[in-house]
Amino acid sequence: MDYDLKDITGLEPLAGDTNQSYVGYLNGQRVFVKKNSTPFFVAVANEKLAPQFLWSKTIDGHFWIAQEWLEGRVLKSFEIAKFPSQAMGILKHLHRSDYLALMLYRLEGQEMEPIDFLQEYYWQLPDELEREPLLKHIYTKLEDELPNFDHFNICACHGDVNHKNWIFRDQKQDEIYLIDWDSAILSDIFSDIGPLLYRYVDVWEWENWLKAYGLPKTDENWHKIWWYGQMQQLMQIKRQYEKGRLRLVKQEIAHLQMMTERKEQEDAR
């Protein structure tokens, strides 16, 4: 059936950074509605990587989508580590989908190789962050130690595996979903794997998570976890600073310092 926005009743905004997410009712059923979503989401839903897709429509120049409402909650940061097989299974499905990669190409999705991440971070970097000794040190090391990048093996990647984008479904205790696909890119699989493990999984568990994905522990894979993990943390620090969230900036820098010391200890062995 061809639904429209007028068919959704009781539409109310949800709290969020963009103020473009809503909850409403379609035929008496609760639904999630988003304004200015990415058309890529439709392809993601078709791959069963997102809750059931109901309709999409362009209205007054804005792309709207509606999907099944999940009774669940956002995973807390410490909970991510409880779902190795589920989280890595979702990423593996995403990364191996030729259909999703093709759809991103058709939608002119952004291709990101390591140097592009560095350039995005440094573009209009606030002076205070540019002067921060630890951030300068990490940026220089990342610049000097670019990981290998195979243009023939780039794939669809989520682009933002923050714990706030993982939903735990109440009805099924082992079912989780990855949401908010607006940051999807074409890149190396470790642009997703690296930040996820670096931020939420103890280093001594990384090898098991790689196995859950089907990857071996090699020097190259290990380097990519560290590289993309630290790169994403620099980006997060920049985003939080630009939003004026200075307390979170301090927390991010403290975590970066801790992980940097951990890596230096590992490199010294």
Co-location of 49 and 86 in the same domain: no
Provide the number of structural domains found in the chain: 2
Co-location of 130 and 153 in the same domain: yes
* Final residue before a domain boundary, out of 69, 96, 113: 69
Co-location of 97 and 156 in the same domain: yes
Co-location of 139 and 258 in the same domain: yes
**Catalytic status, residue 127:** no
Co-location of 181 and 78 in the same domain: yes
- Identified catalytic residue from 17, 116, 150, 160: 160
Per-position pLDDT tens, the chain of length 269: 566 667 777 778 876 555 678 888 888 888 888 877 778 888 898 888 887 777 877 777 788 888 888 777 889 999 999 999 999 999 999 999 999 999 999 998 999 999 999 999 999 999 999 999 999 999 999 999 999 999 999 999 999 999 999 988 766 666 888 888 889 999 999 999 999 999 999 999 999 999 999 999 999 999 999 999 999 999 999 999 999 999 999 999 999 999 999 988 888 87
The candidate with the shortest Cα–Cα distance to 20, out of 78, 74, 64, 69, is: 64
Co-location of 212 and 135 in the same domain: yes
Please, which residues have CB within 8 angstroms of residue 235's CB and are 6 or more apart in sequence? 117, 120, 121
Co-location of 113 and 14 in the same domain: no
* Final residue before a domain boundary, out of 69, 92, 117: 69
Distance (Å, rounded) from C-alpha 68 to C-alpha 52?
5
Domain residues for the domain of 18 are 5-69
Q: Are 166 and 87 in contact (CB under 8 A)?
A: yes
Q: Can you state the angle between helices 206-213 and 84-95, rounded to 10 degrees?
A: 50
Co-location of 144 and 89 in the same domain: yes
Co-location of 113 and 167 in the same domain: yes
Co-location of 180 and 158 in the same domain: yes
